[in-house]
Structure 1
């Protein structure tokens, strides 16, 4: 026997109320997360300044995990992602630094009041060096340089003057970690599809040797230690990590 119409209508109303309340809870949770993210971003900017790091804008902070409010009350956060852009330390610029802090502890009142401490049990980070920035570093006074990815190596292109003739040249380069720097080493360079004037090969090799150099890196915040460098299609990515790190 079918249910009376008023009972079916009551069930629909109940479902609508549940859906609406669920939506409101999601919105409230995200609003709380947004407020906390703004507070933490300001604190991190201040702490980075204390560590000698300057930036043009505050970092973007994403406090992950669901629901957020229960993490606030518990004082433990699954992960906090921090995205720095265009930071400078000791006169060296780093276009991009993405930090991922896991198992973060912070008292509810501290976060809401914009205070510390905020401590991450572990932290990983990747710093990205754009190919434009590497190109600018390798460029010589009389010749521009274009650097791009070529598998796990770098492809280096330029045009140089060989006895009054402009010769396009192409070379391969490796990149590896040094001490507070990355080392770019041009392993070979040849003329690109043109005949080299007699005696010009020596000038090409001299030019290639001048391109090999170290690119200094700024000290990373939070005592992050660089561990690896990898060539990716859009940037050179440097990996770093640290443990038991006070964010603020």
Structure 2
């Protein structure tokens, strides 16, 4: 009996096993390289990337059907984000830059959405840096913020404490809407005492988000501010 049929059978099994290994290993290798290259693009303590595409070898050409990024302790300008997570569809990157230069160079992103969180402490530090509003104490609760500080009102700087909301304003800025506020003590030049409701625009400006994402909403949670962002048709 000829040995050729057996040999061809083993060759076929070997080729199939190699193809399976390549299909399994390629997303892991590409995701690892992307995670490493993203650390310069997205300064963070840790970045995890998950990739999905079909056919799998398309990853070697820089084509990805779906890319998920999860990062912690992210720096965006002078703003610290506790967590950042994003999902992008139909991503194209420069394959030579990724696999040879270990660099992340985007050619196209079809769609994307992301969520980031700012801790209460980081939020207080950000508000303290903004001109015109001096927040001395801040507590973030689901749906509202409790503040104590000095705000401009009716042509004067007024010491207040109260409750309100952080909302998305014009140009991607974040406004403070005080729904209940009371002046605290005598403030020279204050034009009112007691209850006041006011909207203070631009108390916080988030630096440009990575991947060209734009803020779409802000929400208050227990001890943190949640930022929603989108891209393309998301």
For the criterion TM > 0.5, the same-fold answer is yes
Identify if the C-alpha distance between structure 1 residues 184 and 127 changes in structure 2 by more than 3 Å, giving closer, same or farther: same
How far apart are the structure 2 equivalents of 1:102 and 1:241?
A: 12
What residue in structure 2 maps to residue 7 of structure 1?
none
Unmatched 5+ stretches in structure 1: 1-20, 49-53, 160-168
Identify if the C-alpha distance between structure 1 residues 73 and 92 changes in structure 2 by more than 3 Å, giving closer, same or farther: closer
Alignment deviations for residues 214-241 of structure 1 (CA, whole Å, 9 cap, x no partner): 1121111232222222223353222222
Could you say what secondary structure the match of 1:59 adopts? strand
How far apart are the structure 1 equivalents of 2:127 and 2:195?
A: 15
- How does 1:38-57 map onto structure 2 within 5 Å? 38-46=32-40, 48=41, 55-57=43-45
Q: Residues 181 and 214 of structure 1 are in contact (CA less than 8 Å); yes or no, is this contact kept in structure 2?
A: yes
Q: Does 1:184 align with 2:163?
A: no
- How does 1:70-219 map onto structure 2 within 5 Å? 72=59, 76-84=63-71, 85-89=73-77, 91-105=78-92, 112-113=99-100, 114=102, 116=105, 119-138=108-127, 144-150=136-142, 152=143, 154-156=144-146, 171-178=162-169, 179-189=171-181, 214-219=203-208
Identify if the C-alpha distance between structure 1 residues 95 and 205 changes in structure 2 by more than 3 Å, giving closer, same or farther: farther
Unmatched 5+ stretches in structure 2: 1-15, 150-159
Q: Which residue, 5, 13, 36 being the options, matches 2:30? A: 36
How far apart are the structure 1 equivalents of 2:145 and 2:128?
A: 14
How large is the Cα RMSD of the aligned pairs? 4.5
What residue in structure 1 maps to residue 152 of structure 2?
none
Identify if the C-alpha distance between structure 1 residues 61 and 134 changes in structure 2 by more than 3 Å, giving closer, same or farther: same
- More helix as a share of residues: 1
Query: Comparing both chains, which one has the higher relative contact order based on Cα–Cα distances under 8 Å and sequence gaps of 6 or more?
Result: 1
Aligned residues: 196
Q: Does 1:59 align with 2:47?
A: yes
How far apart are the structure 1 equivalents of 2:51 and 2:64?
A: 8
| Alignment TM-score, normalising by the size of structure 1 | 0.57
Identify if the C-alpha distance between structure 1 residues 135 and 27 changes in structure 2 by more than 3 Å, giving closer, same or farther: farther
